[in-house]
């Protein structure tokens, strides 16, 4: 009976020949609801410029703030801002206290373009963190501004242009 059900459920269904990896490099369209949501978050989350973060990192051997990369692991492995910690967006709320136990610590978050970091900053503020910022434009803006990046071993100089 189970076999008949499976056959009847699949009968007439077109085979999807699209490779599931074809979707990996495509961005979903931004919905109006999502754009409105992020816009509202921006009203309550402080954003800092690339130049401000770069200046703070150059000010001394140890920054006076925590810099967290909330991108995916694959993005982190392709290149990152010096002195950043990786936590990933999916683990941020769980792991933040390990790195920043004081809710008054200064925290700067970045992602690829500044959207995931806005959402993450809002989450940390809801947890009780008082001094959370998001890097305007994220890693993309950092790289476009010609700021120093850390590229993993095994990558060539020309690979840097891809990040």
User: Comparing C-alpha atoms, which of 80, 73, 127, 90 is closest to residue 105?
Assistant: 127
Spans of all domains in the chain = 40-162
DSSP 3-state assignment of 134?
strand
Q: What single-letter DSSP state applies at residue 87?
A: -
CB 99 within 8 A of CB 108: no
- According to CATH, the superfamily of the domain at 40-162 is Rhodanese-like domain (3.40.250.10)
The tally of CA atoms less than 13 A away on the side-chain side of residue 81 is 34
User: How do strand 85-86 and strand 66-69 relate by DSSP bridges?
Assistant: parallel
DSSP bridge partners of 125: none
Q: DSSP 3-state helix, strand, coil percentages of the chain (rounded to 5)? A: 45, 15, 40
pLDDT tens for the chain, residues 1 to 163: 444 444 444 444 444 454 545 544 556 666 899 999 999 999 999 999 999 999 999 987 777 899 999 999 999 999 999 999 999 899 999 999 999 999 999 999 999 999 999 999 999 999 999 999 999 999 999 999 999 999 987 554 444 444 4
Distance of alpha carbon 91 from alpha carbon 87, whole angstroms = 6
């Amino acid at each position: 009976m189970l076999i008949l059900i499976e056959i009847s459920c699949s009968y007439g269904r077109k085979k999807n020949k699209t490779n599931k990896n074809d979707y990996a490099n495509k961005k979903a369209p931004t919905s109006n609801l999502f754009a409105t949501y992020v816009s509202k978050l921006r009203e309550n989350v402080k954003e800092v410029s690339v130049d401000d973060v770069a200046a703070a990192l150059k000010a001394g051997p140890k920054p006076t703030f925590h810099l967290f990369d909330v991108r995916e692991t694959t993005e982190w492995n392709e290149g990152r801002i010096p002195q950043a910690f990786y936590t990933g967006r999916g683990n941020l709320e769980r792991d933040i206290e390990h790195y920043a136990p004081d809710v008054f610590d200064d925290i700067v978050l970045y992602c690829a373009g500044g959207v995931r970091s806005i959402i993450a900053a809002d989450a940390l503020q809801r947890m009780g963190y008082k001094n959370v910022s998001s890097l305007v434009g994220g890693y993309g803006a950092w790289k476009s501004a010609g700021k120093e990046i850390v590229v993993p071993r095994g990558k060539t100089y020309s690979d840097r242009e891809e990040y």
